[in-house]
Structure 1
Amino acid sequence: MPNKKKSTTTGKSKLRTLFIIVIVLLAAAACTIAAWTLYEMKIMQARLLSDNPPAEVTPVAEPSMPVYVPLDTFTVSLKPGGEAYDRVLYIGLTLRVVNEDDKSKIEQYLPEVRSRLLMLFSGHSAEQLALNEGKSQLIQDIKQILSLPLDDKSGVTVTDVLFNAFILR
């Protein structure tokens, strides 16, 4: 019977020895990672403290303040379509432009801008404008028509069209 007792103790001691070896290997790996991290941190610190400026620092563009141009409301008879022949659009707009120059250009050429917009609105039918796709297309058309030259040089750049009122009757 003493033989059985020795075999169980040697099995436990082998397991204990294996456990100790694994712990030592894990400790060595942790020390290696810590040393490598410390080394990399010192290199990064040396780069930051060096006299050479960093390669190509791009300045962060400050967001510009939006420039809005409110327009008086329009009341327009729409193009006949479908069953209804007497349809009217009541629409209020505010234009968002790139800069103050475009705003002053719109204000200077306001009769021409309003005329272009009236002609554009009257060319649409109520069925088109009743859908969200029609409203999105109308916004694109407004941007396009106002980008045409107002004076000898160029038109204005409208970045967004905001509806203040939109009533179809």
Structure 2
Amino acid sequence: MATTSPAADAAPKPAKSKKLLIIGAVVVLLLVIAGSAAAWVISSRHAADEEGQDSGAKSSASAAAPIFLPLENMVVNLADPGGERFVQVGITLELRDAKTAEAVKQYMPSIRSGILMLMSQRNSDELLMREGKEKLAIDIAREVGRPLGFTPAKASAARTDDEEDDEDGTARKRRKDARNPVRQVHFSGFIIQ
């Protein structure tokens, strides 16, 4: 039997304890890093949720869901020479709220008359172009807003800061007037004959 010396027994034990100490330190370090990352993710999600709820509440309060009000189809003779052309138009109004929709319904005879007068001043060449339809939609929005108390600002000859040049160099209005209770005019049908 061989006897081991006390110096030989002491040498292997410190090597094993050093390895265990290093492994333990690495595991603790990884746990600290993982815990910090988890805490950061949770806190950033919580902050994003709070910001989302705050901005969502503000945006929903300031910009409520629009109300769509379809109008009966209208058939109008156009201002073409000879008076043989006409247009059949389906219009849906995008309104700010239900209160505005009720007011529009109350003034519907006046509004329909105004829209018919607007369309009867157009000619087929103008309405066949996209720009003509867009201009008609803007004019209809103004016409619907008049009985509701909306009076549009007079168009000045000078360009305003909310106009930009199109590709063809013409100036077009980019923003809508926030005071008008009619957000947009949508055409659900547009037939020219």
Q: What's the TM-score once normalised by structure 1's chain length?
A: 0.60
2:122 counterpart of 1:98: no
* 1:133 Cα deviation from its structure 2 partner: 1.2
Structure 1 residue 147: Cα displacement: 2.2
Tell me, in whole angstroms, the C-alpha distance in 2 between the residues paired with 1:85 and 1:103.
Answer: 34
TM-aligned CA deviation for residue 85 of structure 1: 3.8
2:185 counterpart of 1:161: yes
| Aligned partner of residue 65 in structure 1, secondary structure | coil
The alignment partner of 1:86 has SS state of coil
Distance in 2 (alpha carbons) for counterparts of 1:103 and 1:127: 33
Q: Number of residue pairs matched?
A: 130
Instruction: Please give the per-residue CA displacement for 1:110-145, whole angstroms capped at 9, x wherever unaligned.
Output: 000000000000010000000111111111111122
Query: Judging changes above 3 Å, is the alpha-carbon distance between structure 1 residues 161 and 154 closer, same or farther for their aligned structure 2 residues?
Result: closer
Aligned to 1:78: 78
Q: For 1:7-29, what per-residue CA distance to the aligned partner results, in whole angstroms no more than 9, with x for missing partners? A: xxxxxxxxxxxxxxxxxxxxxxx
| Partner residue, 1:142 | 140
Q: State the alpha-carbon separation in 2 of the partners of residues 145 and 65 from structure 1.
A: 22
Query: Which amino acid in 2 is paired with 1:142?
Result: I
Alignment of 1:12-91 (within 5 A): 58-61=54-57, 62=60, 64-81=64-81, 85-91=83-89
CA RMSD of aligned residues (A): 3.5
Q: 1:88 to 1:100 in 2, by over 3 A?
A: same
Q: Taking every aligned residue pair, what percent have the same amino acid on both sides?
A: 26
Match of 1:122 among 115, 120, 132: 120
Q: Is the 8 A contact 2:77 2:83 kept in 1?
A: no
